């Protein structure tokens, strides 16, 4: 029972950070593999679509380990959410709670605000912009950049790749612009 209580608490940055950082050399040493998540969409399409599409015509079986990695993330998330979730309400800063209320977001008892992330809000303009258009932009951007934030920021930067440095800087600048200048207007819809 002690281990479950230990796992429920957030891990300190000096524990979680090195564990994430050790993933990169472990993958390189054990199998000459790069860490990244977004490439799995291409692998899944290569499995399902006919091989006459040149972008999906490659040996996806060599990358099956990465699909198992993502499956492990999914299963770990389900197990964590169902068995180890904390029943207490999420604690957030009072000023942030007040700011969210100005946008009409008052139900913030769960991990995701129900006013934005629910089936009912999906069929509103605000929900459509955030979930569908935002999801498309993230998917398109990660493929256009040649990888996602985990691939570039964790794996690419540790390998001293200049394109990964440029992509990571652009990811963060884009996130800052979105969170501070665009999202507040979308939330007011």
What are the pLDDT digits (tens) for 143-188? Answer: 888 888 888 888 888 888 999 999 999 999 999 999 899 988 888 8
Task: Answer whether residue 37 is part of any domain.
Answer: yes
Residues 33 and 113 in one domain: no
Cα–Cα distance for residue pair 51/56, rounded to 1 Å = 6
Q: Which of 164, 167, 122 lies closest to 141, judged by CA?
A: 167
Residues 125 and 61 in one domain: no
Q: What's residue 145's pLDDT?
A: 85
Please give the mean pLDDT across all residues of the chain: 84
> Is the pLDDT at 89 greater than 80, yes or no?
no
> Is the pLDDT at 129 greater than 80, yes or no?
yes
110 to 64, 116, 131: CA distances (angstroms)? 34, 12, 17
Cα 49 to its chain centre, rounded Å, is 25
Residues 81 and 1 in one domain: yes
Residues 130 and 56 in one domain: no
What are the pLDDT digits (tens) for 40-65? Answer: 888 888 888 777 788 778 888 888 88
Q: How many domains does the chain have?
A: 2
Which residues contact residue 109 at a Cβ distance below 8 angstroms, ignoring those fewer than 6 apart?
Answer: 89, 90
Which pair of structure tokens corresponds to residue 110? 């769960």
Share of the chain above pLDDT 90, in %: 14
| pTM of structure | 0.73
Cα–Cα distance for residue pair 111/132, rounded to 1 Å = 19
Task: Answer whether residue 35 is part of any domain.
Answer: yes
Q: What's residue 7's pLDDT?
A: 63
Q: What's residue 43's pLDDT?
A: 84
């Amino acid at each position: 029972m002690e281990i479950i209580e230990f796992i429920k608490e957030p891990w300190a940055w000096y524990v979680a950070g090195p564990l994430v950082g050790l993933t990169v050399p472990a993958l390189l040493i054990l199998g000459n593999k790069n860490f990244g998540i977004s490439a799995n969409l291409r692998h899944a399409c290569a499995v399902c679509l006919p091989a006459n599409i040149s972008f999906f015509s490659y040996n996806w079986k060599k990358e099956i380990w990465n699909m198992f990695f993502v499956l492990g993330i999914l299963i770990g998330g389900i197990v964590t959410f169902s068995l180890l979730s904390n029943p207490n309400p999420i604690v957030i800063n009072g000023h942030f709670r007040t700011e969210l209320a100005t946008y009409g977001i008052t139900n913030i008892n769960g991990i995701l605000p129900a006013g934005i992330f629910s089936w009912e809000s999906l069929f509103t303009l605000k929900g459509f912009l955030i979930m569908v258009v935002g999801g498309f932009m993230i998917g398109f951007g990660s493929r256009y950049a040649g990888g996602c934030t985990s691939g570039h920021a964790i794996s690419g930067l540790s390998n001293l790749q200049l394109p990964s440095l440029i992509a990571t800087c652009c990811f963060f600048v884009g996130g800052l612009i979105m969170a501070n200048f665009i999202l507040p207007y979308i939330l007011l819809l």
